[in-house]
């Protein structure tokens, strides 16, 4: 069996999240309950921590604040330097397009679980992104945090409060989002096939206020050296997770369908996943869990509809799976979450 390298995230990302959450809570610095990192790791700004620590951080943040949009609000507070060489290298480019390209190029320095791509559509560029974290709530918070942080850093870099053409998220809306719309300048979409930010050609051409080509090249080389030293986790489970997520909503989430998407035989896919100490069934179960914990927040969707959407033939089978995931029934879980949905977000 091959050695498996588990996904990790930068300690800078963890510290940035914890610090911005603390600011939202009116604290001068993160509490130990938010930033559960050893002193030796916290002192090393280039250290890596298990990606699971990011999941635990977001769960703690939602419990502490009672705000299902705490990730977005925290992201609006991020400023240049919080992510180290990643945002410094991006900040020294010539235009907003260069800024975003550098972020995408160095994304693994932020987290192994971050996928970010720029898709040129002619008059607009679509920035597709996703954090493939285990846990529906953490994934929701991390994706909202990243979208807000990327826009906040891009606005700071250009010195202009530009407005994206469109912002979309995979997850369902948690609460009324008027404050989010006011900060973004556009109403975000939810329940989309991919998380994305769309920018016009005019916005992408905006010059950065501190463009320094020489320093940008130096920082890019530094970032590439840091990337080269990172242990590389096996990307197959991540690719399978993305494929399962895209197929789940279409009712085609079978081993054969996913294997075809990845240009592999079903047997080869099963064998390679076994080498990575996981299985196709385990990844499907995790994808269903994430989707269920996301959809259950929308009171307009019945439990029976959720079961059908994520591939259960009978509501009773979904009920058993949900109890295994959470320890309670879908209805009870929904009722427990209702108080959190009463607090609307306030974005500064």
| Predicted confidence (pLDDT) per residue in 301-313, tens digit | 899 998 888 888 8
Are 81 and 221 members of one domain?
A: yes
Residues 6+ apart with CB under 8 A from 134: 52, 55, 286, 290
Averaged pLDDT for residues 68-84 = 91
Indicate whether 4 pLDDT > 50: no
CA distance 343 to 87: 32
Are 138 and 240 members of one domain?
A: no
Are 78 and 220 members of one domain?
A: yes
Are 89 and 209 members of one domain?
A: yes
Q: Which two tokens stand for residue 176?
A: 């009324």
pLDDT of amino acid 340: 42
Whose tokens are 């995408």? That residue is 104
Confirm whether 22 is domain-assigned: no
Indicate whether 286 pLDDT > 80: yes
Q: Among 204, 229, 254, where does a domain finish?
A: 229
Confidence of residue 250 (pLDDT cuts 50, 70, 90): low
For the ranges 186-200, 232-246, 271-285, the lowest mean pLDDT is seen at: 232-246
DSSP 206: P
Indicate whether 2 pLDDT > 70: no
Q: Which residues form the domain of 245?
A: 236-341
Query: How many beta carbons lie within 10 A of that of residue 38, not counting itself?
Result: 10
Confirm whether 1 is domain-assigned: no
pLDDT of amino acid 66: 81
**Tally of domains in the chain:** 2
| Closest of 299, 338, 343 to residue 65, by C-alpha | 343
Contacts from 334-339 at CB under 8 Å and sequence distance 24+? 334/296, 334/297, 334/299, 334/303, 337/296, 337/297, 339/66
pLDDT of amino acid 5: 54
DSSP 6: P
Confirm whether 49 is domain-assigned: no
Q: Which two tokens stand for residue 21?
A: 């959450």
Are 220 and 256 members of one domain?
A: no
Are 199 and 243 members of one domain?
A: no
Confirm whether 18 is domain-assigned: no
Averaged pLDDT for residues 81-96 = 92
Are 194 and 332 members of one domain?
A: no
Confirm whether 210 is domain-assigned: yes
User: What digits encode the pLDDT tens for the residues 36-50?
Assistant: 544 444 446 678 888
Q: Are 136 and 294 in contact (CB under 8 A)?
A: yes
pLDDT of amino acid 85: 92
Q: Which two tokens stand for residue 321?
A: 């799976």
Are 109 and 180 members of one domain?
A: yes
Confirm whether 47 is domain-assigned: no
Confirm whether 107 is domain-assigned: yes
Are 141 and 210 members of one domain?
A: yes
CA distance 315 to 309: 11
Are 91 and 222 members of one domain?
A: yes
C-alpha dist (Å) from residue 283 to 223, 293, 312: 32, 15, 15
Indicate whether 333 pLDDT > 90: no
Confidence of residue 198 (pLDDT cuts 50, 70, 90): very high
Are 295 and 263 members of one domain?
A: yes
pLDDT of amino acid 326: 83
| DSSP bridge pairs for 309 | none
Indicate whether 317 pLDDT > 60: yes
User: What digits encode the pLDDT tens for the residues 127-163?
Assistant: 999 887 665 678 889 999 999 999 999 999 999 999 9
CATH number of the domain within which 270 lies: 1.10.10.60
pLDDT of amino acid 30: 66
pLDDT of amino acid 170: 85
pLDDT of amino acid 205: 94
Confirm whether 50 is domain-assigned: no
Q: What is the DSSP string of 157-190?
A: HHTS----SEEE-SSPP-S--HHHHHHHSSPPB-
Q: What is the DSSP string of 266-320?
A: HHHHHHHHHHTT--HHHHHHHHHHHHHHHHTT-TTS-HHHHHHHTT-SSHHHHHH
pLDDT of amino acid 212: 92
Indicate whether 346 pLDDT > 60: no
Q: Among 214, 229, 244, where does a domain finish?
A: 229
Q: Among 199, 229, 259, where does a domain finish?
A: 229
Indicate whether 341 pLDDT > 50: no
Percent pLDDT > 70 in the chain is 86
CA distance 135 to 330: 16
Average predicted confidence (pLDDT) for the chain: 83
Averaged pLDDT for residues 273-288 = 86
Are 218 and 264 members of one domain?
A: no
């Amino acid at each position: 069996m091959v050695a498996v390298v588990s996904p990790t995230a930068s300690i800078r990302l963890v510290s940035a999240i914890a610090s911005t959450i603390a600011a939202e809570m009116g604290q001068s610095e993160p509490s130990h309950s938010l930033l559960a990192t050893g002193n030796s790791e916290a002192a090393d700004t280039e250290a890596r921590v298990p990606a699971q620590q990011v999941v635990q951080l977001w769960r703690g943040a939602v419990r502490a604040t009672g705000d299902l949009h705490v990730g977005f609000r925290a992201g609006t507070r991020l400023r240049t330097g919080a992510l180290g060489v990643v945002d410094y290298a991006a900040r020294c480019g010539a235009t907003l397009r260069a800024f975003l390209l550098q972020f995408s190029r160095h994304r693994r320095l932020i987290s192994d679980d971050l996928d970010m791509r720029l898709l040129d559509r002619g008059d607009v560029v679509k920035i597709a992104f996703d954090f493939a974290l285990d846990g529906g709530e953490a994934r929701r918070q991390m994706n909202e945090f990243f979208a807000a942080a990327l826009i906040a850093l891009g606005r700071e870099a250009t010195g202009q409060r530009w407005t994206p053409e469109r912002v979309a998220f995979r997850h369902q809306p948690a609460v009324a989002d008027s404050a989010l719309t006011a900060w973004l300048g556009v109403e975000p979409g939810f329940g989309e096939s991919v998380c994305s930010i769309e920018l016009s050609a005019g916005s992408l051409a905006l010059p950065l206020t501190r463009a320094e080509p020489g320093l940008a090249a130096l920082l890019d080389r530094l970032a590439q050296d840091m990337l080269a030293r990172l242990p590389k986790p096996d990307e197959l489970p991540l690719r399978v997770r993305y494929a399962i997520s895209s197929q789940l909503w279409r009712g085609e989430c079978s081993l054969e369908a996913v294997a075809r998407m990845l240009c592999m035989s079903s047997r080869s896919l099963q064998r390679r996943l076994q080498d990575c100490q996981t299985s196709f069934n385990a990844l499907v179960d995790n994808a269903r869990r994430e989707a269920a914990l996301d959809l259950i927040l929308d009171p307009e969707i019945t439990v029976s509809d959720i079961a059908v959407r994520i591939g259960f033939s009978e509501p009773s089978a979904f009920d058993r799976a949900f109890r295994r995931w959470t320890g309670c029934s879908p209805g009870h879980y929904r009722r427990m979450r209702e108080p959190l949905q009463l607090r609307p977000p306030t974005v500064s």
